[in-house]
Structures are given as structure tokens and as C-alpha cells.
Amino acid sequence: MARAPVVISVYRRERSKLGSISALASCSAEPCLPEGAETIRPDPPSPFPYPQRRERSGVSPPQQTAMTPKPAGPPDGGWGWVVAAAAFAVNGLSYGLLRSLGLALPDLAEHFERSAQDTAWVSALALAVQQAASPVGSALSTRWGARPVVMVGGVLTSLGLVFSAFARSLLHLYLGLGLLAGSGWALVFAPALGTLSRYFSRRRVLAVGLALTGNGASSLLLAPALQFLLDTFGWRGALLLLGAVTLHLTPCGALLRPLALSGDPLAPPRTPLAALGLGLFKRRAFSVFALGTALIGGGYFVPYVHLGPHALDQGMGGYGAALVVAVAAVGDACARLVSGWLADQGWVPLPRLLVVFGSLTGLGVLAVGLVPTVGTEEGWGAPLLAAAGAYGLSAGSYAPLVFGVLPGLVGIGGVVQATGLVMMLMSLGGLLGPPLSGFLRDKTGDFSASFLVCSSFILSGSFIYMALPRALPHCRPASPPATPPLERGELLPVPQVSLLSAGGAGSIRDTTC
């Protein structure tokens, strides 16, 4: 009798199995399953690459059922503002620091007894490597995600600055600041900014402009702080402390949470060339944009390196030169926010704004080169301060438009790769511009000719932008679509569409033929 409960339990379990088999046998030709069971029908491939990434790691991805939500568009907020704050810090600790490093070049020239052209290669190499290797950072981000790539880049940047603090020759600075720190900066900027562009749609340019204000805010703080460190600890102590500061890029990378969007490719790139995104050059609009951006890069970064030394040549003291850099930084930071807000309103197409603000940037650099000499260290140098402020306003207005227009040119799925390619193209000018500026300074005795030549590069690139779609007004107004277009390259010539602002029907229409 003690075995009766066991027999009853086995009987109930076998009866339950027979009932399930009977229910399955009574189904029609269309397969049916008991209530609560998972379907055995294979699901269509997921529209975003993260499940495939888990499959490669040895963990099978869960099958997508009818209850699994499909990837939506950019959230246009939420965690995106945290990503914007992280990109703000990344921009400040990369370009903001590079802009302020020009204040240390006279001390390096004096210590190593070298010319301005030779010491200019320190900043030029760091800038060139940072931008030339940006496609590598984008490719690694496409394969492994932006978070680990940016964290590793922060460590490399810090090590490069610390290594440079113990330099015994300019070659050590070329390797430390130029190669090692530049490689670290290449791994942080493009993945951070590309991730930010994926989190926003309607307010994308404003978010990008907010992140890019880190450049101006960092220059505003680092320019006088670096001059203080140079006076107190010398250039070696200053570089050592800057190495500790740039280590904060690592926690910034930890905040870049991955995001799945409906425009993502079905699978990650299989070859290195595909990961770099070189196929984007087959699109005429992106090729035109790339050529114009490369020319602008030839003059855009010269004030980053030589604005402070130019102020010193004009007769201003060390803190006066830092004030000039700070004024340009304030104008740069304020203009990026205003330009981002203006672009998101949809009143003027982004390519048209690129032409306008690119031309104004060239004129701003020209004004910096034409200002009269201050003469004494006690003078405030009002003309130079005004020219630096005008340059900062125009350059700051141009910066967010360069990256804000990319989703319209290549689509949301290729924005990270396009960001890296744009950085690489600008590196061509960043590599040649500052050394050319230093060469002209050695030949002429000041930086006036340098700024005049570099402004011609910027104006030439702005002229090429006129060939972009919707950069110039056309013959008749176009009828806008009923809904905003999908983010798959709105500025591509086929199909031809008009962008709508957040205002809907009340926004101003573009024209087309």
C-alpha cells in the first residue's frame, strides 16, 4: 500500500502525455501547439546586429516571437542625454586639449632649440593621427561596440601624455603625443559622436552641437589652466597632469550604451574594407561632401595650433594669449548650440547652412591674419580679440553641421563609419596645415601670411559644398511628403524628398526642380 501514491503519480504523468499527443494529432495540416508552448516556425532574421553578436560568443540568441518588440527609431532623448554628456567630455578632452596645447609650443621650441615649424609637427601629428585613424575606431566600434573601444582609447591617450612628459627629444614627443596619444584620441571621438547621432532624430543637430561645445568649454578652462601649469611646473609637469586628466575618457566610454535601430544592417561587416565603410564614396553626394571637408581641414585647425603663438607674436603676454584663445573658445561653444537649434528647425537645408557657415569661417580666419600688431604686453589687443571672437562664432556654427548632415547623406546605418571617414579626410588638412603655417611664419616672421593662406583653403571647400543636393535654391517649390522620410539618406538624389522640421506643416518648404 505504501507504493500506491507512486503508481498514481506515474499514471497521471503518462495520461497527461497521452492527452498532449491526442491534442496534437487532432490538428489540421497547419501546425498547432498546446496553449503556452513556443512556436517552432523559424523567425525572420533580426533587423539589428546584436543577436548575431551574442551568437558568435557561443550563446544562442533567443528566437523572436510575436511578443518581441521590433527595433524602433531613435528615442530622441532619455539615455541619449547621458550619451550627449559623455560625448561632451570626450570632445573637451580631445579637441579642446589639442587646441590648448599650442600654448606649450614656444616652451618646447626654446627647450629643444628648434624652429616653430619643427615644434608645430607635435600638434600636427597628434591631430593628423587622431583623424587619419578615426575610420579604424569606427570599424572597431562597428565590430565590438563603442563602449570598449572608447575605454581603451582613453587609456592610450593618458599613456601618450605621460610618456611625453619624460621626452628627451622632439622625436619622443612625436611618438608620445603624435602617435600614442593621437591613436587614443582616434578611438574615442568618432565612436562617441556616431553613437550620439543614433540616439537622436528630430533634435540630432542640437544634441551634436551640445556635445561639440565640450571643445569650447574645455578650451576656456584649459587655456588659462595650462598656462598656469606651464609657469608653475614647466612643460613636463603640465603634460604629466594632463595625462591624469585625460584618463577620464575611460568612464566616459562606459556610458555609451549600445542601441538597436531599424535602419541597422542585418549583419555586421564581414571584411575590414566593409567595416571601414569605403563603399560610401560610391555615393556622389558623400564624395562631394568629402572633398569639400578635406579642403576645409587644411585651414580649419591652424588656429587650434597657432592662435596662441600668433597672439604672442602680436606683442601680447602669456595670459593675454590665453585670453585670445579663451575668447575664441567662448564664441565657438555658444555658436554650436545656436547653430544646432537653428538646423533642427528645418527653416534652411543643412547643406545650405554648411556653405554659409563654412564661408564665414574662412572669413574669420582671414580677419585673424589681418589684425594690426598690439605692440605691448600690457595692451588688451582689442582687434585681435574681436577677430578671434568672430572666428570662434563662425567655426562653432560650422562644426555641428558637418556631423549633423551625415545621416541624410549615408543613412542611419552608416553614420558611425561616415564619421570616421570624415575625420580621416580632415586629417589630410590637419597634417599639412599647421606645418605649412609654421613654415610661413619662419619665412615671414609672423603668422599673418599663414592665416591668409589657410583661409583660402576654407573658402575653397565651402565653394565645393555648393554641389551638394539642396545646397542652392531651385526653380519651383516642392510638395513635402505627408510624413517625415525614413532615415536612409534623405539627401540622396533618388528618391528625391524634402525634409520636414519638427513644426510639421508650418515649416518652410525647400525647393526642387
The pLDDT tens digits of the residues spanning 219-238 come to 778 878 888 999 899 999 99
Per the CB < 8 A criterion, the answer to whether 185 and 126 are in contact is yes
Cβ contacts of 445 within 8 Å, gap of 6 or more = none
pLDDT of residue 214: 83
Rounded Cα–Cα distance for residues 339 and 319 (Å) = 30
Quick check: 120 pLDDT over 50?
A: yes
pLDDT of residue 513: 41
Quick check: 4 pLDDT over 70?
A: no
pLDDT of residue 153: 94
Average pLDDT over residues 38-44: 42
Rounded Cα–Cα distance for residues 306 and 72 (Å) = 46
- Position with higher pLDDT, 353 vs 271: 353
Residues written for the chain: 513
pLDDT category at 320 given cuts 50, 70, 90 is: confident
The pLDDT tens digits of the residues spanning 461-471 come to 999 999 898 88
Rounded mean pLDDT of the chain? 76
pLDDT of residue 104: 87
Average pLDDT over residues 479-490: 45
Quick check: 251 pLDDT over 70?
A: yes
pLDDT of residue 72: 58
Per the CB < 8 A criterion, the answer to whether 337 and 210 are in contact is yes
Quick check: 70 pLDDT over 80?
A: no
Per the CB < 8 A criterion, the answer to whether 191 and 256 are in contact is yes
Q: Which residues, listed in sequence order, are joined to residue 309 by a DSSP beta bridge?
A: none
Quick check: 483 pLDDT over 50?
A: no
Contacts of residues 266-273 at CB distance under 8 Å and 24 or more positions apart, as own/partner, are 266/45, 266/46, 266/47, 266/49, 267/45, 267/49, 267/52, 268/49, 268/52, 268/53, 268/142, 268/143, 269/139, 269/142, 269/143, 272/139
- Position with higher pLDDT, 5 vs 269: 269
- Calculated CA dihedral for residues 309, 315, 320, 323, nearest 10 degrees: -60
Cβ contacts of 346 within 8 Å, gap of 6 or more = 499, 500, 501, 502, 503, 507, 508
pLDDT of residue 432: 77
The pLDDT tens digits of the residues spanning 435-468 come to 788 888 888 888 888 889 889 999 999 999 998 9
Cis peptide before 495 (omega within 30 of 0): yes
Rounded Cα–Cα distance for residues 366 and 360 (Å) = 10
The pLDDT tens digits of the residues spanning 178-207 come to 899 999 998 998 899 888 888 888 888 888
pLDDT category at 326 given cuts 50, 70, 90 is: confident
State if pTM tops 0.85.
Answer: no
Question: Grid coordinates representing 424?
Answer: 580621416
Average pLDDT over residues 237-259: 92
DSSP string, 157-177: HHHHHHHHTT-SSHHHHIIII
Rounded Cα–Cα distance for residues 236 and 458 (Å) = 35
pLDDT category at 410 given cuts 50, 70, 90 is: confident
C-alpha separations of 256 from 148, 232, 310, 377 in Å: 9, 36, 38, 46
pLDDT of residue 43: 44
- Position with higher pLDDT, 423 vs 335: 335
Cell numbers 537622436 correspond to 200
pLDDT of residue 334: 85
Rounded Cα–Cα distance for residues 37 and 161 (Å) = 59
CA 13 to chain centre: 62
Per the CB < 8 A criterion, the answer to whether 332 and 388 are in contact is no
The pLDDT tens digits of the residues spanning 398-408 come to 988 988 888 88
pLDDT of residue 503: 40
pLDDT of residue 435: 77
Average pLDDT over residues 353-375: 86
pLDDT category at 38 given cuts 50, 70, 90 is: very low
pLDDT category at 90 given cuts 50, 70, 90 is: very high
pLDDT of residue 425: 80
Cβ contacts of 379 within 8 Å, gap of 6 or more = 315, 316, 320
Per the CB < 8 A criterion, the answer to whether 99 and 304 are in contact is yes
pLDDT category at 40 given cuts 50, 70, 90 is: very low
